[in-house]
Structure formats: C-alpha cells, structure tokens
Structure 1
Amino acid sequence: MSNVAAFPRRQQDTADSPGPRAPAPVFVTTETYDVWWLISILRRRTKLLLAVMTVIPILTALYVSSLPKQYAASSRLLIEAQRERVLGIEAVLPAIGGDNNTVQTEAEYIASREIAIRTVKSLGLMSDPEFNPELDEESRRHWADRLLPDAPDELLAPLEPLVRWIIDTTSSQPESRSGPIPVADTLALVTDHFLDRLTVEASRFARVITIRFRSTSPETAERVANGVADAYLRDNQERREDALRRASSFLTGRVSGLRQSVIDAERKLEQFRRDNGLVETGGATLLLQQITHLNEQLIAAETARVETEARFSQVRVLSGSDGGLESLDAVLRSNVITQLRNEETELRRRIAELQTQFQPRYPALVQARDQLAGVQAQVRAEVDRIAQSLRNEVQIARVREANLAEAIRRLQEKLEGQTDAEVTLRSLESEVEASRDLYELILGRLKATDVQDESVNAPEARIISRAVTPQSAVSPRRGVAVLASVLGAMVVGCFLVLIIEFAIRGFKTPQQLELATGLPVLAQIPLNNDVTRSLPIHRLVAERPGSSITQALRRLRTTITLSLGETEASRVVLVTSTIASEGKSSVVEGLATLSALAGRRVLVIDADMQNPTLHGRFGLANVVGLSEVLTGSIEIDDGIEFDPTTGLYFMSRGHSVPNPDDLLGSEAMEALLRTARRQFDLVIIDTAPVSSVGDALIITPRVDGVLFVVEWERTHREMVIQSLRDIYEIGENVLGLVLSKVDVRIQSFDSGTEYYYYAQDDRGQDAA
C-alpha cells in the first residue's frame, strides 16, 4: 500500500510554479456537530451524566427539606372611583383617581417603608422572634454549635472561614451582633425582614390591589396581611383630614382679605360712573346691549346656517346616486311623498294581480303601469322641489348671517369711537367682576370644608377581601424544586460532557487523522493497560490469536508487508511517535512477534538511546548492544540476541553514550542496516519520540519506511502535525499511521460502527 498523499499538503516543485512553497494548513478535521454526534458523546459519558443527574437532585431535595415552611395570606383593596359630591370639596381635597397609573402608585405606597413601620408598630412585631433575630435563641448560637454541637474546637477552626462564607451567602438574615442593639436599629432590622416577605401587586385591568404576606406561621401571615391594609386605610384617612384642616385655615384668612377687595373695587366703579355720566341699562351701556343682542342673533344665524348647509351637503352627496334624495329626512317627513308612496304601493299591488291573470298588453294592465309611472314622476318632482327648497334655505341663511355680521361690525366701529372713559369703565368692571368671582370661589370652598357631607368622610379605598388563615404552605415546593433540579442537572451534565469533549486535543477517529495528515491509518490497536500489565504483548500475540489486539497487529503486519513488497532493499521499518508512552514499543513488540511466528527472520533494534524498554519486555539483559556495535567494541553478530520463546532476534541499546546522535548518523549505522537487510527478512527499529530528541530524524533517511504511532485522544493534534512535518523534511518515506490505545467501545459511539475484532480468543475470553 502506498501513501495516499505527501505530507504536508503543498504545491509540488515545478518549473511553472517558482518561488516559495505554499504553507500547509495546521489542522483540518472531519468532525461534524449534529444530533447524532451529541447522542454519541452523551452515550460515551453516560456515567458522568447519570452521576450529575443523581447527585444534584438529591442535594436539592435535602436542601429543600431543611427549609422551613412558608405560609401566604392575602387581602385585597378596591380603589374607589371619583364619586359625585354635594359640595365642591374635590377642589380642596382631590380624590384618588381610578386610572392604572394611580392604582400602581398607591400599590407602591402600600409597599413603602412608611406603611411597613406603621404596621410593625401597630402589630407589635418587634417582639416577634420571627422578625427580630435578637429574640431568636437558635440564631444567636454559634454556627458550630448549631451544625456540629459535639465537634471539638481544633476540628472546627480550619472550617470557620468556609462555613461562615456559606452561611452568609445562603442566609437572607444578617448575622446578629454582639451586645444590645439600639431601638432604632432594631426597628430598621425588623422592617427589613418585614419588607422581604411583603408583596403588593396592582391589577392591570381593575382598580384592585392585592397585599400578600409570607410567614412561617399561618396566623401571622393572616394578621399581617390584614394589618397592612388597615394601616394604609388609616393613613389615607389621616392624610385627608390633615389636608382639610390646612385648607380651612388657609381659606379663612383669604376670605377676609378678598371681601374688602370687592367692596373697594365696587365703590371705585360707582364713583367713576357718576363722575363721567355713563348711562347703563340693566348693568350695561346701550351700545353694548345692542352688540350683545346682535351677537346672540349672529350665533343663532351661524348655527342655523351650519345646519342648513349640512342638510344641503347631504342633498349633494345623495344626488349622485339613483334614488338617493328619497332618503332625505325632509323627504321622508313629507305628507305628499307619503301619500304618493301609498298610491305607488297600491298600483304595484294591482299590477301584480293583473300580471297573474292577463297578458302584458292587456289594456287595464297597460293603464295601471302608466299610472304607476305618473305617480313615480310626481314623487321625483316632489323630491326635487324639496331639494331646491333646501338650496334656497342655504342662501337665505348665508345672507342673514352676513347682514348680522355687517351690523355688528358697524356697532363695533361706533364702540371703538367712544371716549377713553368707556375703556376705563370696562377695566373697572372687569376688576370688580374678577374680585367678586375670586371671593365667591374661595368662600364656596371654605363652606365646603366647614360643612362636609358624608361623601367627604367616606374612604377612597376599601377592603373587599380580608385575609384568612392559610391551611397549606406555599413554599418550599419540593416537587417543583426537585423537578427543576433534575432539568438543571441534565443541562449541567450535558454542559460538562461538552466541556470534556471539547477539551480533548487528540485525534478521535481515523478519518480525522487521515484528513489532517494526508497519510493512511494502517491500523487501530486497542491496547488495554490491564491486559498488557498481566500479559506481555509478545505472549498475548502468541497465546491469544483471536484477541482484538492480535487482530489489529495482524492487519498492521499485512499492510506493511504489502507496502514494502518482497524485495531485499525494502526490509527496514522505523517505528516512532510524537511523545513518550504512546505505545510504539508495544507496537514493535507485537508486530515483530507476529512476523516471527509467521516464519520470518525478524530483527528488533532498540534505538531509543534515552529510555530503552524493549529488553525488559522480552526479559533480556541490556549488557551489550547497539552502542557497542556502533562504537566498534563488538561485532554485529555479538550484539544480537535470540529469544527462543518468540523466535525473535533482538539488539538492545547497550550502554548509555554521551553522543547518540553521532553514532546513529555514522557509517557504522549504515553498515549495520546493510548487514541486517541481507541476513533478516524484516528489521524493526524502535526509536525515541520525535518531539523529545532527534534520533528518529537521523535514522529516517536510512530506513525503507517509517511507521508513526499516535495515541488515541491523548497526543495533541498540533504536535502530531509538527512531528510529521519534521519527518518529511528529512524524507518522504512514511508508510502510514497507527492509532494506538483505542477504546473501540467509545469509538463505536463516535463513528456509529461496530468492530468485528471484538472477538473472543481461542480460550473463550474477551481480550479487548
């Protein structure tokens, strides 16, 4: 099998595309986010989701069960609309309006601190432990005595900050202070507790205010709800009485001064008339009486003209339609029209009878039709006459109005020509009239405040529904709280699952790895730490040929064999990875063992100069090996050991050397690989991770193919991309990728497919 594409994706060097190569994308993924993707990750994290959905509702149920029961009682007030009063007292004391804004304002006033203080004092709530924490012995105890009464102090000391923070955060009541509290502070504290439990709502479509109060005692809830309503009504009545007293005192002083002002103004007016000889008839001059009389006639004429024009405009509108004028009021009230209509009706009846007995040209029938046409013509003529009469009335009304206006204009010209005395006279008269009106107004309001009718004393609001003792608690609602916690836990669990899913920086599917690198994934090896700890890979491959790990390694061996071919020059495979502990040594161990069991001569070279582990896996001693061969201390054959259990030939690392890079890149390494190609069917080299040291990059040009191991969901994608890019800078001979430590059960959730190597081995045991 050949490489699918060269890595990284880049433009090929050609003569037609000079210049630097285009940069490759850092990361591309085939991962899509849809409903099935969400279902797969929820299935994958089912235990976490169930744990969250179990713990949170249980904690919620425990917390809600510890809360005290709350009872609610409510009373309702009706804000009265403005009533009719015998006296004009509303000018002195405006009534509460019935609009929504006023009702809302009154509701806010009921919920104010002023009403709350009045209620607290009237009901004696300062001596109630429910509202006054200083009287509650339980709340005065130390938090440690309340929660853990038998715990020692040395155990509670470290928990002091945490528990105090929890109490301060979850408790709605402030911590009690040591020592006596002033009365004013106690009243403010009790009022705060009172307002926290009081709710006042104004109806949107009615003049009704609902007062609702919550308490741990049903009797207290009822008593306080009614007490707030009573306090508001008393406050409203007191405000009205105080306003009446202040208005009466103010008006009494004003009346005395205004009475003297009216007397002085009238005396001054009479003196001016006598001095100037102005004649009055009925309290006004003759010229003014004429103008006034003509103005009255002009107003009447304008009114008559407007009415006539309205009727005439109706005539014009109705004249545009057939028979429209017949619907005029004047037409309908005409006796002539009524008589003609009766004749028309009689003729129509007679014509209908004749049509049932004779032919259309029967003389009596023709005569009746002619009579009907004559009557209809008379009706139209009468209607036209009435319409013409309306037109004439409009003209007459307009002429009359114009004549009256002209007469008034001439009188006004005469009036303007009078002397300055008349102007002064009118000014004095206006002054007298204004003084008299103001005096009468203030006097009337003073009488209204002194002589109050029953409507004044009637309240502007009244209780329409008094609170009763509640029989059942309104909180805590345990069922609702638990149900809400279940839904909330579901959301939190899904959120945690998504966070964990998005926190995975590695590759989850072979498709992601292939698309990101352009290289094929040759195998997915479900390495299981529990299995490999109890049974080494080389024994697992030999003893359990039906296990899922063996099946995956067998597929990898077949793929590598097809990729390298059977030529002598293609027998050396280098196995490396990005970081340590990705399973590359396990892949080498299993791949080499399978090849040896297939009858091939296989040499395994441990070229991990920093952390060699293969000798321990096969139970061999790391006395001499690759280091001694490359330094020339021993011959190649002396550095190779044979494992009779697996049939493998093995070269360990040997002793540690200070310059491993120079040795791996030396001619001795090249000679070792040439000799290995001649003597062995397959040579597998295990090297250090690419991101740690450069050993793998040094050996890469000398091998026939590179097998790159990537750990499932662990190795960061960017690191894998960079490591493969480094290898391709040396030589493009990567055979493919191996996705190791795959959890096939979880991956089946992600991809929606089942893996057939979930098989049982020959012992009937599930090796996966």
Structure 2
Amino acid sequence: MNAHTPPALSADDRSGAPLEGPQTGLGAAMDIRRWFNVFRRRIRLFIAVALVVFAATVMLTLQATPRYTATASVVLDTRKTNVTGVQQVMSDMPTDASAVATEVEILKSGQLAERVVKALNLDQDPEFNPALRKPKGLGAVRASVRDLVKGAAPKTAPTPAQLQRAHEGVVSNVLGGLQIRRTGMTYVIAIGYESESPTKAAAIANKWAELYLLDQLESKFEATQQATRWLNEQLGSLRGQVEQDDAAVQQYRIANNLLSASGTSLTEQEISSYSQSLASARAELAADNARLATARQQLARGSNGEDVGEAMSSAVIGQLRSQRAAVSAQVADLQGRYGDRHPEMLKAKRQLTDIDSQIQEEIGRIVSNLEAKVEVSRQRANAVGGSLGGAKGTLASNSRAMVRLNELQRTADASRTLYESYLARYKETSTQGGIETSDARIVTKAKVPGGQSSPDVQGNLIRGLLLAIAAGAAALILAEMLDAGLATAEDVERRLETAYLGSVPMLSSVSDTRNETPIDHIVSKPLSSFSEAFRNLQTSILYARLGEPVQVVAVTSSLPGEGKTTTAICLARSAALRGGRVLVVDCDLRRRTVNRMLDAEPGVGLLEVLSGDATLEQAISRDAASGADILPLSKTSFTPKDVFGTAAMDRLLAELRRRYDLVVLDTAPVLPIADTRILAPKADVVVFLARWRKTPQHAIEAAFRQLSGTGAHVGGVVLTQVDMKQQAKYGYGDPGYYYAEYKKYYTE
C-alpha cells in the first residue's frame, strides 16, 4: 500500500465513538459542546418524537376508563386466647416476617380468588368476563361481520375445557385488580381492590377479607376433623391391641401358676405366711422349752412345785391350796385343843396329807403338760419349716417364669399407656370443634371510595412528559449512532484516518441566488464563499504531496451522485480564473456528465484522441466563461475496451503535463466501475469526494480497500454539498462551525 493510502479502519473508528477514555477539563467541555450541537441539529427529531410520545400518553390517559380503589385492612393477631387449656391440632401462626409474607401470598392465591368469584357471582359481571362484554368500535364492526359470515349456523355448546379456560380467565381478571401490601413493618395487611365501580370495589375488598378469615377457620376445623377421624381409627386398633396384650398376660399367669392378689403372687403370699407361722412356732417352742426347763430346775432344787409358774396360775392348785389352808388351820386348832392323837386330829392330818398329795399330782400333771406342749410346738415348727421350703422351691420356679411375664406386662402397659394417651387426645380434640379462632381479624372495612384512583391524570402527564423527553433523547442518540455519514473534518480524520482536504458547500446554503448552477456561480461570484471553498480546495490539493508537484488530479467517489463532475468543473474554473492553464478531462465513459453540464455535444473527444482518429487540438474545446479547456467524451465514445491502461493514455497524460498547470480527471465512482482503479495510479493525487452526511462510511472504506492495491495516492477526502447553515450546528472547532462569523467577508 502507498504510504498515503488510508489504512483499514478498526471497529472503534467505524462506530464514531471517541477513541479516548473519559475526559476532564477542556476535553469534557468540548464533549458537552458536541452533544449540545447534536441536540441543536436534531432538535426537530427530538421535538417530533417527544410530541408523539406525550400525545400518546395524553390520549391513553383521556381514553382510559376511570377506576376506583377500596381498601380493607386485616391484622395478624399476636394475642391468643385459650379457654380450655387444650393444645390445638393446628398450632397458631407465627408472626415473624416470613409468616407475614406467606399470608400476603395466600391473599394473592387463585383459590381465594375463586371463592370471591363464586361468592359475588363475578363470572356474570362483564367487567371480569370478556364473553359478556358488548363489542365497541372496530370490535363491534368485526362482530357484525363475523355474525353475517356465520349466518344462522347453530351455536355449539362449549366444551368442558373451554368452560375451564373461561373460568380461569375470569379468576385471572379478578386477580388483576387486587392490591395486597404490608403496612410498614407492622402485622397489618391492606387488601385493596380496583374496579370500574366504587361500590363493587368496596364489596370485593370486604368479601376478600371475610373469606380470608373464613379460610383460616375452615383450615383449622378441617385439620381438627381430620385429626379426630385419625385418632378414632387409631383408638379402634389400639383397643384391640390392649385387650390382646392383657389376655396374653393373664393366660401366662394361669399357665405358670402366677396368680396374684393385691399385686403379689400366691407363692409369695404362702412363703410370707409360712415365714410368719414358722417364726411364731419357733418362738412358742422356745417359750415352752423355757417354761419346762424352769420348772425342772425348781423341782431339782427341792421345790415342792408350788413356786412353778404354771402351778401358781392353776385354778385347781389354787383351790387345793385354799382347802389345805383351811385344813391346816383346823389341824392347828385341834392340836391346841386335843393334842396329836386325837381322832379328829389324825383325821385332819390325813386330810392335809391327801391335799398335799393332790397338789403334787397336779404339779406333776402340769410338768407333764409342759413336756407335751414342748413336743407339739417342736412338731409344728418342723411342719411349718417343711412347708416353707416347698414354697421357696415353687417361688424359684415362678421367678424364672416371671421374666417372660414381666415382658408381657411391659408390652401390655405400653399398649395401655398409648391407648390412654390417644383416648385423652381424642377427647381433647373432640371438644375443639366449636372453639377455633382465626389467626387474623378485620381492622378496617373497605368504604366506597369518593374519587377515582386511576388514571392519575396529573401523574400520567408528568410521567408522559418525562417519558417524552427520554424518548426524544433516545431517538436523538439512536439517530446519531446510526448516522454513518461524515459531517466534519474531525469525522474524516478520526473515522477514516485520512486527510481532510476541505468542503464544498451546497450553493443554496451560502447564496440567495436563484436559478444559477454552481459552475456558473463560481464565475459570476468569484469572491463568494462558494468560490472561496474551491480556492481552498485547490490549495489543499497542491500541498497534498509535499516536495512533489501536483499537476494531474483525479476526482472520484465511492458512489454516484457525490458531485464529482460539479467539483471537477468548479475546481478547473476557479484555477483558470486565477490565470492557470487548466484542463478538465471527462473520464466517466458511461455518464458523460461534463457534456450535459456545459450543454455541449462534441463530435470527437477523449477516446478518438486515444485511438488516433483525432488530434488533441481537435478534441479540446475552450470554456468561454473561465478560459479552462475541456477534453470531453463524444456521444458514441463508449467502448468495452480498457482504454485507460494503454500506452496511449500514458502518452496523453505526459503531453497534458507538458501543456497544462492543472489537469482535472473527472472519473467514475470506484465501487461500481473498475476504470477508476486503473486511472487513479496515473494521477499525482486522487481527491476522494464524500457527500456530506449521506455517503456511508462503510462505502468509503470499501472504496479505499479497492484503491489500496493500485498504488494510487489518495490526497484526502472532500465533503461535498455541505449545508453551511446546518454545519454550524456540528463539531466545535470545525471551520463550518464559525461560518456565521466569517461569512461577512464574502461578497455575493
């Protein structure tokens, strides 16, 4: 690529966005001016979009159906009453933030909405059931046409699926007017409803609150009933289990002789009784032995037995002693009266001896009785001891059987405990059926609203104004982003990375002259700003190649309609008016625009000179208005042959360099025609034209890529057909920005 050929552009360059980062100071101020200029030049678009958006907002607001909002309030009750002290089946609702949020979602549920629809017959209300609405406007027209087309065809009954969809649509429409919100961080929930009728809005809000509380009560009641049924079922099975376990315990007791009374087994009772009897028998035996031993010891010491304990307590001995005392008194009396030999005395002594003998016999019987009693006590103690041993053996066997009995008893006790707990819970649950309370209560009932809640006319107008401004700004930014054309010298240098040679104003933007073409204006008004633009362009072209003369200039563009021929002729006339030797060569074989502009139809031209059918002098004509020469194309000069790449063309250009100070080649556009890529390398400088704000940047880049491999020297880009009045609204620092200040220096 030639050193002066613009390189390919990056994606950032094509976007038109600044290549630098965030700017501060002077750079930021220039960026503000840039956007201010964008607003200035696109203010019509901004106003148009803003007006459309604002008008649409106003129209929608005015056409909207007035709606009214009524609000009822419920509070989640944190204070609970418990009359019976019985634990509830369904526990009270917690009152933390998540619980409140859950209740808000329940209030928004479709199930509750269906209950409201059913309670108030909202499915028969046209506001919620679209099928009952009468069509209006275009809808009425379409309905009439549809009825005419269908004619008298019988109506078919809707299917269950259609009825279900219609019902779901009604529920969805009802939910659309619901407004549920929590009041701050309190437990109060506001139930708002918006409707076309204020009375209907209040009725729906109140019904929604009532059914919400009823739903809570029904949920608790249903939970209680379900728990009661379940407990009843469980009690039936547990009752049979308890009976079965108790029967198993009793059968095992009977089978293993583990019968009991008062909580102890019969064997244990026997052992206890035997132990008590044995202890009593042994104590009695010991007492009997002690009494017998004492009596024997007393007799052994020479006692007559009268001091033996049993003898002392014997009634017989007592009587005998009484008799003996009486006889002894008689003996004493008789002895004192009659002496020892008196018959009465002897008789009395015999009686006394007889009594003593009876006493001794009675004492003997007592001692013998003590011996017999000791033997009886010994035998009884031995018998009781034997029975106790047998009972202990039986108890050992029973103890082994008690292990299984205890296991069966524990099972029976567990079953009975479980049964009793279920029975107690069943009785508690059965008593709860009529004392359930909801977890919320209505604080404020909805009242019929006195004014509409929507549309908010003032708010909508403010929002519409803000939206209009935002839409206008967005349209402005979008238009600026989609604007692929070039408007300023900065655009050319930054986005195309090539030199900016100048701009050619649109004649109507710098002159009030009517019915005058640009090529005529440059002659009639040589001191005008339009003519000055071409003098500036000529100066830029002459210095496009520093150190090298510029004689042959090729004027081209990427697309047709960029003003190539006008620029070429005006450039040539401007140079000729300054005294230079100038030639315009028409190289656009298809258009021959130079002839049309100069209103001439030559017989010979460029192709005839190249083919040798005419001389250069014969083909060149003089522009009488400026003194510039013209080498046109004849009417029949089109040829499919390559005429610009021939040696004849090289010789012609060499001859023209010798004769003229400036040779302007009016070429075809680069993209559609290949001739320019052949001719451009033969020129000293290629002047590339781009129509102001019209030629797409991508088209220019595509043309540059096609010229990049030919060796052509692109001197830079010229913006043509520039509206100088609008250009003043573009980039700060661009020459056109100051047009209003310096235009007074020009003479029209």
TM-score tier by shorter-chain length is 0.5 to 0.7
Given that residues 211 and 225 in structure 1 are in contact (C-alpha distance below 8 angstroms), is that contact kept between their aligned partners in structure 2? Answer: yes
Determine if contact 1:259/1:439 at 8 Å carries over to the other structure.
yes
CA distance change for structure 1 residues 452 and 39 in 2, over 3 Å: closer, same or farther? Answer: same
Matches of residues 261-660 of structure 1 in structure 2 within 5 Å? 272=253, 275-276=257-258, 420=400, 423-424=403-404, 426-449=406-429, 451=431, 456-514=435-493, 519-528=498-507, 534-561=515-542, 571-659=551-639
1: CA distance, partners of 2:227 / 2:493: 93
The answer for the alignment partner of 1:71 in structure 2 is: 68
Q: 1:419 to 1:712 in 2, by over 3 A?
A: farther
- The answer (yes or no) to whether the contact 2:605–2:637 under 8 Å persists in 1 is no
CA separation of 1:209 and 1:48: change in aligned 2, threshold 3 A: same
Alignment of 1:215 onto 2:211: no
- How far, CA to CA, are the matches of 2:670 and 2:544 in structure 1? 23
How far apart in 2 are the matches of 1:564 and 1:98? Answer: 86
1:192-232 superposed Cα distances (whole Å, 9 cap, x missing partner): 33222234445684444432221111111111111122223
Offset at 1:526?
A: 2.1
CA contact (8 A) 1:521 1:737 kept: yes
Question: Is 1:32 aligned to 2:18, yes or no?
Answer: yes
- In the alignment, the residues of structure 1 paired with residue 573 and residue 190 of structure 2 have an alpha-carbon distance, to the nearest angstrom, of 86
Matches within 5 A, 1:228-247: 228-241=208-221, 244=224
State the TM-score, normalizing by the size of structure 2: 0.67
**Structure 2 counterpart of 1:192:** 172
In structure 2, relative to structure 1, the CA distance for the partners of 1:431 and 1:764 (3 Å cut) is: same
Deviation at 1:61? 1.4
Match of 2:690 among 710, 715, 721: 710
1:718 deviation in Å? Answer: 4.9
1:60 aligned residue (52, 57, 60): 57
Matches of 2:48 and 2:721 in 1, distance apart? 26
1:42 equivalent in structure 2:
39
Report the residue type matching 2:53 in the other structure.
I
Q: What per-residue deviation string (whole Å, max 9, x for no partner) do you get for residues 144-164 of structure 1?
A: 5499x9xxx89xx9xx9xxxx
Does the CA contact (< 8 Å) of 2:576 and 2:582 recur in 1? yes
Do the aligned partners of 1:89 and 1:445 also contact (CA within 8 Å) in 2?
no
Once the two structures are superposed, what CA deviation does each residue of 1:555-612 show, in whole Å capped at 9, x if it has no partner?
A: 1223344568999x86433322333222221211211111222233322222222211
What is the CA–CA distance in structure 2 between the aligned matches of 1:126 and 1:43, rounded to whole Å? Answer: 56
Structure 1 unaligned runs (5+)? 10-23, 161-176, 287-417
Q: Tell me the SS of whatever aligns to 1:470.
A: coil
Residues 533 and 426 of structure 1: CA distance in aligned 2, closer, same or farther (over 3 Å): farther
Residue type of the alignment partner of 1:43: R
- Give the SS at the match of 1:664: coil
- Residue 722 of structure 2 aligns to a residue whose secondary structure is coil
Aligned partners of 1:518 and 1:187: how far apart in 2?
67
Aligned-pair distance for 1:68? 0.8
CA distance in 1, matches of 2:201, 2:11: 66
Q: What is the one-letter code of the residue matched to 1:32?
A: P
Distance of aligned partners of 1:89 and 1:513 in 2 relative to their CA distance in 1, 3 Å threshold = same
Q: 1:495 to 1:620 in 2, by over 3 A?
A: same
| TM-score, scaled relative to structure 1 | 0.65
Q: Distance in 2 between matches of 1:459 and 1:516?
A: 73
Q: Secondary structure at the match of 1:599?
A: coil
Q: Is 2:735 aligned against 1:739?
A: no
Q: CA deviation at 1:143?
A: 1.1
The structural deviation recorded for 1:711 is 3.1
C-alpha distance in 2 between matches for 1:518 and 1:4 = 14
Q: How many Å separate the matches in 2 of 1:549 and 1:107?
A: 75
Shift of 1:56: 0.6
Contact 1:79/1:98 (<8 A) preserved: yes
What residue in structure 2 maps to residue 308 of structure 1? none
What does 1:82-93 correspond to in 2, within 5 Å?
83-87=80-84, 89-92=86-89
For residue 420 of structure 2, what is the amino acid of its counterpart? E
In 1, the alpha carbon distance for the partners of 2:138 and 2:691 equals 55
Distance 1:660 1:572, change over 3 A: farther
CA shift in 2, pair 1:135/1:692, >3 Å: closer
Shift of 1:92: 4.2
What is the CA distance between 1:63 and its match in structure 2?
1.0
CA contact 1:81–1:98 (8 Å) conserved in 2: yes
Deviations 1:406-432 (A, max 9, x none): xxxxxxxxxxxx954554454355345
Q: Partners in 2 of 1:698 and 1:453 — Cα distance? A: 104
After superposition, the C-alpha distances for 1:453-493 in whole angstroms (9 at most, x for unaligned) are 98x25444321221111122222223333333333344443
**Partner amino acid, structure 2, of 1:535:** E
Go from structure 1 to structure 2 and tell me whether the alpha carbon gap of 1:690 and 1:237 turns closer, same or farther (over 3 Å shift): closer
How far did residue 436 of structure 1 move? 4.0
State how far apart, in whole Å, the 2-side matches of 1:83 and 1:564 are.
98
1-structure distance, mates of 2:530, 2:612: 39
| Closer/same/farther in 2, CA of residues 529 and 630 from structure 1, 3 Å limit | farther
Identity of matched residues, %: 28
Whether 2:117 is the aligned partner of 1:131: answer: no
Residues 26 and 105 from structure 1, CA distance in 2 versus in 1: closer, same or farther, beyond 3 angstroms? closer
Instruction: Specify the alignment match of 1:311 in structure 2.
Output: none
- After superposition, the Cα gap between the structure-2 partners of 1:446 and 1:729, relative to the gap in structure 1 and judged at 3 Å, is closer
Change in 2 beyond 3 A, CA 1:190/1:53 = same
Task: Please tell me whether the aligned partners of residues 545 and 761 of structure 1 are also in contact (alpha carbons under 8 angstroms).
Answer: no
8 Å CA contact 1:87, 1:448 repeated in 2: no
User: Which string of whole-angstrom CA distances, capped at 9 and with x for unpartnered residues, describes residues 220-276 of structure 1?
Assistant: 111111112222333444454555556556656766776676677668768849945
Q: Is the 8 A contact 1:5 1:519 kept in 2?
A: no
CA positional deviation for 1:626: 2.0
Specify whether residues 528 and 91 from structure 1 end up closer, same or farther in structure 2 by C-alpha distance, changes over 3 A only. Answer: same
Instruction: Check the 8 A contact 2:241/2:415 in 1, yes or no.
Output: yes
When the two structures are aligned, how many residues end up with a matched partner?
Answer: 589
Whether contact under 8 Å (1:262, 1:436) holds in the other structure is yes
Residues 1:757 and 1:545: Cα distance change in structure 2 (over 3 Å): farther
The alignment yields a C-alpha RMSD, in angstroms, of 4.5
Cα distance, 1:58 vs structure 2: 0.9
Q: What does residue 751 of structure 1 align with? A: 731
SS at match of 1:213: strand
Cα contact 2:65–2:196 (8 A) shared by 1: yes
User: Structure 2 CA distance, aligned partners of 1:444 and 1:606?
Assistant: 117
What is residue 693 of structure 1 aligned with on the other side? Answer: 673
